[in-house]
Structure 1
Amino acid sequence: MRNTLTSTVVFGALAFVALAAAPLHAAERPAVLPDTMQQRLLACASCHAKKDVNDAFFPRISGKPAGYLYNQLVNFREGRRQFPLMTYMVDYLPDAYLREIADHFASEHLPPLPARATASAPAVLARGRQLAMQGDPAIKVPACIACHGEKLTGVTPSIPGLVGLPPDYLTAQFGAWRNKTRRAHEPDCMAVITERMSLEDVAAVTVWLGTQQTAPDARPVAAIARPLPIKCGSAPD
């Protein structure tokens, strides 16, 4: 894969050199673009920072804790998460630059989108609310709020918020953990939790989360009670 990427990069560089060498009239010359992180990351923002869409495949990342975003970029680069486009984009980026990307998106806060309506049965929503707010000791699954914050908006520096994400995206991530195509630093707490949940439980909690409205001023909280109810390598005590 690296050989293919290297060939692509070399080809792109050669094409740029060839274009640069060709004389252009003043009217044909491109405008000089500002060398800012916002300009550099337009490709990322086109999928992950849409103001009026919350895509099931490309979730909003604006406002997520910087440590969480950094961890995910590293996970894509090192193969703990698998998505070819993301791997291609971060494969050769150093840690320092990944931190700059994470800090940039963490500092952005988009207006929240309306909560999604659902036709799910009341019993399904009740089960989802139970898992999110109370957990289920019988299957050793802690409440979502025990790690992701009382309002499920995340915790700095590295625990993401859950509200505002499409149910389809959340379901897909549970599936990725179940299928071992998404992993995190050991101990991988979400992989453990996923193994303990039935498919019906996954559907219930993701649907319920999708019905929750995000407050306009929602932000990750600065701290949460420690130790966490389950050891988590991405958010160590």
Structure 2
Amino acid sequence: MKFPLWASLMALAASAQAAQAAPVPDTMAQRLQACTVCHGKEGRATSEGYFPRIAGKPAGYLFNQLVNFRDGRRHNATMAYLVEHLPDDYLREIAGYFAGQNLPYAAPPVPTAPPQQLALGAALVREGDPRRGIPACTACHGERMTGVVPAVPGLIGLSRDYVTGQLGAWQTGQRRAAEPDCMSTIARRLTAQDVSAVAAWLSAQPAPVDAKPAQQPVHLPLPIDCGSGLQ
């Protein structure tokens, strides 16, 4: 049985009115859907390696990065557009929302780097190179590399491409932080071989069962002055 055209049009109009009448919940999850396009559902990252996981990162770190994008210390056109008119209080709300997402980590990819490269990466992450003034990554980012509250990010769960890109950005000045800019100082002491090794090893490490940020660094004071690490 065929419906007349007017009946079909009325049905479509009624459906459209019902859709328009459906209330949209005013929640942070709803407001921040634009973030999940790149950073994945609930901020847990996607298969696109250059977009980092933000779920569970310390709130102070996330806030600092949002401010850095807004104020031009970090450069990404999409991020700058999204936050350019947002006040500090709202950026803190955004940071707090994603910091509160306690979600499981995906399994890391099978490492494809040569054993010698992985060994160098492990040594730099866990021991650093005192001769060149390079502290161990774990000295600031935590023994399990899950970050330290309130503002030191975790390194677990980051892709090889992302780690390589960010260390390169520190080296070239495309990424900056509050002075003294400790990561800029450290990155400039790394060779291209060092960067590749650190990125390869870090990206291959599984997350611990409890991947929440540590409550305090392994050692205080930190091995290098850092303007934003403990703020």
TM-score (norm 1): 0.86
Shift of 1:54: 4.4
Aligned to 1:27: 18
Deviations 1:42-88 (A, max 9, x none): 11122213457343221110000000000000000000000000000
Please state if 1:46 is matched with 2:37: yes
Cα distance change on mapping 1:53 and 1:137 into 2, 3 Å: same
Provide the C-alpha distance between the structure 2 equivalents of 1:199 and 1:186, rounded to a whole number of angstroms.
Answer: 24
Match of 1:170 among 143, 156, 163: 163
Provide the C-alpha distance between the structure 1 equivalents of 2:206 and 2:16, rounded to a whole number of angstroms.
Answer: 53
Aligned to 1:215: 208
Contact 1:171 1:203 in 2 (8 A): yes
Greater gyration radius: 2
Cα distance change on mapping 1:109 and 1:236 into 2, 3 Å: closer
Aligned to 1:185: 178
Please state if 1:150 is matched with 2:168: no
Shift of 1:181: 0.9
Aligned to 1:61: 54
Shift of 1:26: 3.0
Structure 1: runs of 5+ lacking an equivalent: 1-23
Q: After superposition, where does 1:222-233 map in structure 2 within 5 Å?
A: 222-224=215-217, 225-233=219-227
**Helix, strand or coil for the counterpart of 2:188?**
helix
Contact 1:112 1:216 in 2 (8 A): no
Q: CA RMSD in A?
A: 1.6
Aligned to 1:18: none
**Helix, strand or coil for the counterpart of 1:112?**
coil
Provide the C-alpha distance between the structure 1 equivalents of 2:114 and 2:74, rounded to a whole number of angstroms.
Answer: 33
* One-letter identity of the residue aligned with 1:43: A
Deviations 1:108-162 (A, max 9, x none): 0221111121221111111000000000112110000000000000000000000
Aligned to 2:28: 37
Q: After superposition, where does 1:3-152 map in structure 2 within 5 Å?
A: 26-27=17-18, 29-50=20-41, 53-152=46-145
Contact 1:148 1:154 in 2 (8 A): yes
Shift of 1:217: 2.1
Cα distance change on mapping 1:217 and 1:228 into 2, 3 Å: same
**Helix, strand or coil for the counterpart of 2:122?**
helix
Contact 2:156 2:207 in 1 (8 A): yes
Shift of 1:215: 2.0
Deviations 1:162-188 (A, max 9, x none): 011001001000111111110000010
Aligned to 2:192: 199
Q: Percent identity?
A: 51
Provide the C-alpha distance between the structure 2 equivalents of 1:33 and 1:85, rounded to a whole number of angstroms.
Answer: 25
Shift of 1:232: 0.4
* One-letter identity of the residue aligned with 2:56: G
TM-score (norm 2): 0.88
Cα distance change on mapping 1:81 and 1:52 into 2, 3 Å: closer
